[in-house]
Structure 1
Amino acid sequence: MRSLILLAAALAAAHHAAAATPVGDALQRPALMVRAPQRAVLLAAAQAGERIVAVGERGIVALSDDRGATWQQAPCPVSVTLTMVRFADAQHGVAVGHGGTVLTTVDSGATWTLRLDGRRVAQLAKAAAKTPEAQKEAERLAMDGPDKPFLDVLLWDAKRMLAVGAYGLAFYTADAGQGWKPWMERLPNPKALHWYVARRAGDALLLAGEQGLLVRSDDAGQTFRALASPYKGSWFAGEIKADGGLVLAGLRGNVWRSADGGANWSQLASPVPATITAMAGDADGSLLLASQAGVVLRLQGDALVPVNPQALPMPAALLPLRDGALLTLGGAGVMPVAARAKEARQ
């Protein structure tokens, strides 16, 4: 089996435990219930109305209805590592992860349905292949088995979504996961590099990944064009701001911003030369970034300002809450840093 432990090199240690079991077996085995899901390795979180939904290793889905004070675990039909979760509204959400897994929920994360896995990914890719290169890639997917993870997913609404991941995987659904279309041939990614970042704002889509891989769509994904990357390292985090500006971040504290859709870029000096592992928009419209060094940064004008005076265990994800509080997630589970976040604004 071709093993891939992802969310970037910065998260390799957090993923190590999830690699011990063959992915195919984990796709058929429900997640084990644990006593304290908030202390598990958690890699992503989203808000479903007032509920917080977090996902992570071995299919753990953790729910909180009191802003992270207490947690309960939701059943999950697979025990693969889940890498991203997003919600279209308070009820409808999607989680993606290892083994080509896509799960959907219609009840705010209380229950989940498996909509796609690596075996079906290979079948769909083979059926849709139109070129010799695409056919060869589909055959490789089938031979390797269901070991390729999805690493991000973007939503238009409760039915339309695009999941992207390792080795250029990209699959779109218009019916909440009942049917899927491969988008690999639609995307300018001839080397089948990994996609780490997928973001949407209106009809604008931004995908970014390995070795400076960077593409944009301005027509809701009907067509894509490659953008020249300002650096050759991998992008691990990114956002499209409310004003249309782009911010991307990656290795060794590289943070870059574009005000013209990606035509030109300027670098933001980071006070911490460590890999950026996560990025999220705050309730007030500012951006927060998490670094491998455990420092959370806030983008204020042209400056990246540290939020927390003491380093946290390496965060894999950030979740700014609507009331201004902030949660980090990673190898140590959920950690609130609300007081420090408010203090940094003063």
Structure 2
Amino acid sequence: MKRTRNFNAGPAALPLEVLQRAQNEWLNIEDSGMSVMELSHRSAEFEKIHNRAIQSLKELMDIPENYEVLLLQGGASLQFSMIPMNLLPEGKRADYILTGSWSEKALKEAKKVGETAVVASSKDDKYTFIPKVEDIKLNEDAAYLHITSNNTIYGTQWKDFPQTGRVPLVADMSSDILSKKIDVSKFGIIYAGAQKNLGPSGITVVIIRKDLITDNDSIPSMLNYSIHAKNNSLYNTPPTLAIYLLSLVLEWAKEQGGVGKIAENNEEKAKVIYDAIDGSDGFYKGHAQPDSRSLMNITFTLPSEEAESQFLKEVKQAGFVGLNGHRSIGGCRASIYNAVPLSHCQELADFMKKFQEAFKAKEAQIS
């Protein structure tokens, strides 16, 4: 069977083992005689799948008992609105740190709900770095502090998180959740669209400290954390297929050795490609400053538009997909989420070296 080398930014690569298991269970899930897509979300068979997904995430991330795990819809983009609607009361201010396009979008939605402030930003430097923790001008009375832990477009990632004391730290971890160990207790809310490290698009994981879930009848039911928590994320019909695949990806993560082992693999994968960039004598140039480099999204440019265009054409012909940079900034991007194997990263690095040699040889002939 032909399988491409998938470096898409999202929806992204899924583990082959997960896809094969889903294929085997496609027509008969849990010995029900039905596909998972045909099951009632109120059935015992689906309840088992649903609860297994939640429990597996709790185990993998070592989520404390005073946190609720919600499986919602609407992507991270809906959380941009849900978070201030649930956490930002009148008279309070929400603080935001800008590190890329997604944090900008989160701020834009929060402004529609209440008072906000930008307490640190790398925008003036084209989002090439993550602000230093000591440069954050946090309001100690803020309703929360919002960060984007990994920036898919610019290829930057938080290495150490801000210590916010009594202020809840809220993190959009859509593109690096489950990629490394974190201390969940340091956060008020962690949220993530599933389509990069957790499963297919259509499901959003929200990990929220229980004391932040409050009854507020003025919030529409579907946007109210309290409603979803009381109903075990089954207030309305959930995306059953996406939750099933989420459960399989989480089981796969356990089989890999858990988050610690996955983190080791991710560091090795990233090093292979960054070494190709750093060893190219400037032919490939990384967008992110070295101390802010992402282990999930590696962004880089080539010496000219001609070289870039030729690279993207030839790399696609060689069986690699998803290497185009985001349309807003161009360039190239390799997204190496958990399911991308080390061998694919090594093959990409080899291709980069060979392309550089061939391109330079061609230029030398012309001159």
Answer whether TM exceeds 0.5 for this pair: no
TM-score range relative to shorter protein: under 0.3
> Rg: which structure is higher?
2
TM-score by length of 2: 0.25
User: Which of the pair is proportionally richer in strand?
Assistant: 1
TM-score by length of 1: 0.26
Structure with the bigger RCO (C-alpha within 8 Å, sep 6+) is: 2
